[in-house]
Amino acid sequence: MNRKYGYIRVSSVDQNIERQKNAMRKVGIRDDYLFIDKQSGKDFSRPAYQKLVKQCQESDVIFIDSIDRLGRNYQEILEEWRILTKEKKVDIVVLDMPILDTRSSLTQEDLTKTFVADLVLQILSYVAEKERQDIRRRQAEGIAAAKARGVKFGNPGIPIPENFAEVVARWRKKEISLDGALSILEVSRSYFYDKVKKLGL
């Protein structure tokens, strides 16, 4: 009998997980079958996630609320998706994107559905990478414009983190808290606000 697991992730310890837990309960997942991480999705080195993967067996199903709960790096998501579905033969269901549901048998219809799910992931990976490139470009343009205005960035030995604009965008959209943004960037509150202002973010 296949087992149903739920994976929940928030970026920081002060973020609320109740919405994701409620979504899992609605699809019949018991609380003791939920695995919860409260940390960045930049990679898959997360204790609860790793424990979940080790516990899963063939034909088990992992439910996640949205694809970004699995991770933030779509290239790594593609590889992890391949490992889970092709090597471990575990099914994945993304609740807010029904097309990303690999539960299937060997019928032609289900094979097509699996193909479409893989294709959608490839498209999401492309879009996410393009967005990261655009964010980096806008950050570089912001730095150049600020320097042209004569803005001094202080100690040149403390560079602006490469993902600064991306984290600021997530903070603006309330995906992460201020403390969560500071933790990801490993900068102080004053540094954060100063660079947001100088870069026009």
CATH assignment at residue 95:
3.40.50.1390
Are residue 63 and residue 102 in the same domain, yes or no?
Answer: yes
Q: What is the pLDDT of residue 113?
A: 64
Q: What is the pLDDT of residue 74?
A: 75
Determine, yes or no, domain membership for 29: yes
Q: What is the pLDDT of residue 153?
A: 57
Domain count, the chain: 2
Determine, yes or no, domain membership for 132: no
Are residue 86 and residue 153 in the same domain, yes or no?
Answer: no
Encode pLDDT of 59-84 as tens digits.
999 999 988 888 877 778 888 888 89
- Residue span of the structural domain in which 168 resides: 141-198
* The two three-digit tokens of residue 21, written as one number: 């837990």
For residue 156, what are the contacts with CB-CB under 8 A and spacing of at least 6? none
Determine, yes or no, domain membership for 133: no
Q: Among residues 11, 59, 104, 183, which one is catalytic?
A: 11
Are residue 108 and residue 155 in the same domain, yes or no?
Answer: no
Query: Active-site residue 104, yes or no?
Result: no
Are residue 47 and residue 103 in the same domain, yes or no?
Answer: yes
Whether residue 77 contacts residue 42, with contact meaning beta carbons closer than 8 Å, is answered with: no
Q: What is the pLDDT of residue 124?
A: 74
Determine, yes or no, domain membership for 178: yes
Are residue 111 and residue 63 in the same domain, yes or no?
Answer: yes
Smallest Cα–Cα separation from 13: which of 37, 32, 35? 37
Last residue of a domain, one of 103, 126, 149: 126
The list of the chain residues with pLDDT below 70 reads: 1, 14, 104-114, 127-129, 132, 151-158, 201
Are residue 122 and residue 47 in the same domain, yes or no?
Answer: yes
Determine, yes or no, domain membership for 131: no
